[in-house]
Structures are given as structure tokens and as C-alpha cells.
Structure 1
Amino acid sequence: MEEDRVGVTGGVASRYALKQGRIKNEDILICIDVDAESMAEMKTTGTNGRPLIRMECVKQAVILFIHNKLFINPDHRFAFATLSKSAAWLLKDFTSNAESAVASLRGLSANKTSSRADLTLLFRAAAQEAKISRAQNRIFRVILIYCRSSMRPTHGWPLNQKLFTLDVMYLHDKPSPDNCPQDVYDSLVDAVEHVSEYEGYIFESGQGLARSVFKPMSMLLSHPQQRCAQDDLDIPRSLAKKVPVTEATNALDHHNGNNIQIINN
């Protein structure tokens, strides 16, 4: 932070200005879990009247994410991978073409069997691609969409290599004697903290509702270089926390005599 001091005597404020910095274009690798649990039915129904499955809902949310991200900055680029026992490329060549990105998702399908996931190959591929992105003055991000309620992911990645940022969206079943979503979530939190260069976000939902997929994806539109800590994230705020306009206090604008209404959110 660059300091521009106005005065040094008591009662005289100091003025500060942030150093100018360039927000870099992003290369985003979206890795989608294709375990059998990604085919679980959700509570939300589709246009055919049948319940949506997680995979289809995730596809729709990712497609919307891509279009919105490119609307914000058409120079962002995307690639895709799948996660079964380990990660595998679905679309390795990063692209800013929305149609090409969407086309790569159309044939995506889930496995019929469940297995434990090893994230090591995903992190290894991300680290290699991140070095290429850095050479082009870009930053690298991985968005992992994970759907297993009873199988904690593992990885063997050194702690001192933080070359990219990891975001996670975790969709799971309700806790039961047959699963352990809290343990899985804790493992995912550890992974985010273990590898992330900037502030990585993790969201989870066991509600089985479409909005529990679309809302986190909209929040992941945030650029890693512009993020607050997730503990400070409160978007959108609960309506119960908002103060009605009629109860807001009024403050006097001493510059022009106008009343400025302050709403305490």
C-alpha cells in the first residue's frame, strides 16, 4: 500500500492510495466429478416433469458460468477435465470460444461404479498448465465440482507448491450411517488451503435443489485477485439481516446540507 501523507500534526488525516495493479486474465480448468453419485436425482424437476440429476444441473450451471465469465472478460479461457479414480482431460486446449467449450460438455456422462478419488494428477496437470499461463502473464484456476458423500479425496501434493487457485463446489447427500459428507468436506477444505495461490472458495450443499448449484457458480465468477477472505463473504445477505429503510438512521451531509440515508446492512 502506497502512503500519501497529508499532514503529520494531530487531527490532520493521512491519505492512502493503493498501488495500481493489473488484473490478469484467467485460465480456468473446470474438473467435473463423474462418479456414480453425480447421477443422483435432485429435488428440482426439469421441463419434462422428471427430477433433474446432478450431472445435468452441473452442466447447465457450468455453461451459464462460461457465458457470464466471457461477458465480463472475453479473454478468459477454459479447459475441462473429469474426475473418476483420478483426473483425465476432457478438453485440454484452453479456449475463449463459448461454443467450443459448451460442445465439450455435451457428451459428458457418469460412471456406473464408485471409487475413491486421487487429486494428485489434477494438481500436477494444473501446476504444469499454470507455469504456461504465468509465462503469458495470466493466472490459473481450478474449479472442482465434487459429488461423493462417502469417499474423501486424497492427494500427494507438496505443500510449498502454490501455483494456482483451487475452488470447490461440493454436492452431497444428507448425512447417514452410510456416508460422511462432513469428513469429505473437511478433506476438500484442506485441499483448497494446501494448494491455493490466492483465496480459494469452497461451497457445499446437501439440499438437492438447482439453486444450490447455480448460486455457488455465480459466486465463483469472482476473480481470485479481487476476493475477500471467504470468512468475510456474505453474498447475498439473509433478508433477516437487512434493516428496513424506514428504520435506517439519517446522517447530515455537511458538504451540501442534504440528508443522506444510511442503511446498516
Structure 2
Amino acid sequence: MEGGQSAGVYSLPPSRFYGEDILFCVDVDAESRTEMKLSGPKGRPITRLDSIKQALLLFVNAKLSINPDHRFAFAVLGQSVSWLRKEFSNDVDSAMAAVRGLAAANSSYGVADITQLFRIAAHEAKKSRMQGRLFRVMLIYCRSSVRPQHLWPVSQKVFTMDVIYLHDKPSSENCPQKVYDALVDALEHVSEYEGYIFESGQGLSRVLFRQMCILLSHPQQRCVQDDLDIPKSLTRKSTPPIDAIPTDDSISVSSQLIISCC
């Protein structure tokens, strides 16, 4: 205290931690049949959709371990968006059944209109909000040359959106950078809280799993994506320079100093 005045006290205003209703929207274009780099048991090829299914179940189980009040529903993206499992549920068996129902198309759709996704999300978000819950959309997109399209008023931001983008490496036949930019624009256009977007052209399932683990973060508790410093890279510990390695003489002198000081 100075001059009879008490120092200011910092306090964090209490806020309610909302349970989430999460709508997964999975791109089932023919490009979701693209094989990943590593094969499965007995050399069986693993496709993007196979890895997505594993990642979804990883997410659902982990999210429910954090808070069993979270709920999930599923939709698919072809030319437009349609429901796969409309009822939001925290039942793992229900989620597994929905994931098993995901199937990739045999040919490319050519168009990816996500207006219906935003329409569904806005409608469901209002119902979630009336129940004191938070609504989030997670779009998993797989097309390397088809940019998603939408017609949605910028003033409506009633849900949060995350995106994972799996794509081929850039070539003369595709331009994943333009697709990525369109996905960023869509996310910023609709997201209420901080939405995250991750991409990978490496074809590695472990990268997808790592990204899904980051998306476990609750939208109300996120930093901006530019400030993310996870996951930490595991670097090999470097060997100290020769001058820094203690010799027998230096160890002996150090011991003598300790003894004499005692």
C-alpha cells in the first residue's frame, strides 16, 4: 500500500464453459481415395478417407474423455453438403456407425458448394445456443484444384469453423495454394471464435492425427493461430563443444575448491 491506497487487484471475469455441438463435414470427392504414403497391415493401401475415419474416431474419443457432454453429428460434401447423421449425440457407437458410413465417390464432383454447410450450421447453431451450447463446424477437404464456393452474408457469424485440407503437391494440373486461400477466406467469413486451418500435402496419417489433436482445443480457450507453438518439434540434443566438456583436471580442481570452501 502506498499513500493509504491499496494496489489494484487483477481478476479474471468468470465465464461459462460451454459444451460443444460439433458438425464434421467430410469431403467424399474421388480425391479422398488418394493413397497415403504408408500402407496398412499386410501392405494394404491406406487412402485419405481411411485416415480421416481413424482421425475422427480419435477426436471423438479424446473429446469425450475431456468432457462427456460434447456432441457430434456428421455431413458429407459432394457437389453440395448433405447430412450423414443429423442427430447430435455423445454416443461413441453412434459416431462409429456414422464413420463407417463414409464412402468416397468414384468420380470427381467438379464443384464444391459449401453454402448449404453454412446454412445448416447457422440453423443448428441457433438451437445449440438456446440450450447454452457452442456450435462448431469441422470441414475436412481433399480437392487439390477445386476451390470451394459459397454465397453467405458476412454479417452472420454464429458458429466457429475449423478446416483440415489434405491435398496433392502443386503441379501443372492443380494449385492447392489457391484452394487453401479460398478455404481461409471462407473460415474468416463465418467463424465466430478463432478458427484454425491446417493443411498437408505429405500424405502422412500421423500429420493428420497431430492436427486433429490440436483441434481438440475449445474455441473459447484458443489463442490466435499465428501464436500457436504446439506441437513442439523434437530436435536431437547437440553435442557440446570440446571446450565445454570438463576434463579430469578441471573436475579435480573443482572438487578441491568445494572441499576447501567447506
Fold conserved (TM > 0.5)? yes
Residue 56 of structure 2: aligned partner: 62
Aligned CA distance change for structure 1 residues 149 and 136 (closer, same or farther; 3 Å) = same
**Runs of 5+ consecutive residues of structure 1 not aligned to the other structure:** 1-5, 248-265
- How do 1:6-17 residues align onto structure 2 when only pairs under 5 Å count? 14-17=8-11
The 1-side partners of 2:236 and 2:196 are apart by 23
User: Is 2:91 aligned against 1:97?
Assistant: yes
Of the candidates 206, 209, 217, which is equivalent to residue 204 of structure 2?
A: 209
Task: Answer 1 or 2: which has greater strand percent.
Answer: 1
Q: 1:19 to 1:154 in 2, by over 3 A?
A: same
Q: Does 1:36 align with 2:47?
A: no
* SS of structure 2 residue aligned to 1:67: helix
- Percent identical pairs in the alignment equals 62
* Cα 1:9–1:121 shift into 2, 3 Å: farther
CA drift at 1:239: 3.5
Distance 1:204 1:9, change over 3 A: farther
TM-score (norm 1): 0.86
Consecutive unaligned residues of structure 2, counting only runs of 5 or more, are 245-262
2:137 matched to 1:137? no
Q: Which aligned runs of 4 or more in structure 1 are off by greater than 3 angstroms?
A: 6-10, 239-244
Structure 1 residues 218 and 8: alpha-carbon distance in aligned structure 2, compared to 1, 3 A threshold:
farther
> Partner residue of 2:77?
83
- 1:223 equivalent to 2:225? Answer no
Alpha-carbon contact 1:133-1:140 (below 8 Å) kept: yes
Tell me by how many angstroms 1:48 deviates: 2.7
Match of 1:174, as an amino acid? K
Residue identity in the other structure for 1:36: A
Q: Distance in 2 between matches of 1:69 and 1:181?
A: 30
Cα 1:48–1:134, aligned 2, differ >3 Å: closer, same or farther? same
Which secondary structure does the structure 2 equivalent of 1:236 belong to? Answer: coil
Shift of 1:17: 1.0
Structure-2 separation of matches of 1:8 and 1:91: 65
State the SS of the aligned residue for 1:217: helix
Q: In structure 1, give the amino acid aligned to 2:197.
A: I
Amino acid at match of 2:117: L
Secondary structure of the corresponding residue to residue 88 of structure 1? strand
Matched residues in 1 for 2:202 and 2:180: separation?
A: 15
Match of 2:228 in 1: 233
Q: Distance in 2 between the 1:235 and 1:241 partners?
A: 17
Q: Corresponding residue for 1:119? A: 114
| 1:9 shift after superposition | 9.3
State the structure with more CA Rg: 2
CA deviations on 1:157-191 (whole Å, 9 max, x unpaired) are 10000010000000000000000100000000001
AA aligned opposite 2:64: L
TM-score by length of 2: 0.87
Structure with larger RCO (C-alpha < 8 A, sep 6+)? 2
Q: Secondary structure at the match of 2:113?
A: coil
Q: Deviations over 1:128-159 (max 9, x none)?
A: 00000000000100000000000000000100
Instruction: Count matched residues.
Output: 239
Q: Distance in 2 between matches of 1:26 and 1:231?
A: 24
Structure 1 partner of 2:66: 72
Q: Deviations over 1:68-105 (max 9, x none)?
A: 00111001000000000000000001001011111111
2:148 matched residue in structure 1: 153
How much has 1:236 moved relative to structure 2? Answer: 1.1
- CA distances 1:216-259 after superposition (whole Å, capped 9, x unpaired): 10000000000000000110122459999xx9xxxxxxxxxxxx
**How far has the Cα of 1:50 moved from its partner?**
2.4
- Kindly report the root-mean-square deviation, in angstroms, between the aligned alpha carbons of the 2 structures: 2.2
> How much has 1:14 moved relative to structure 2?
3.7
Question: Match of 2:255?
Answer: none
Q: Is the partner of 2:125 in helix, strand or coil?
A: helix
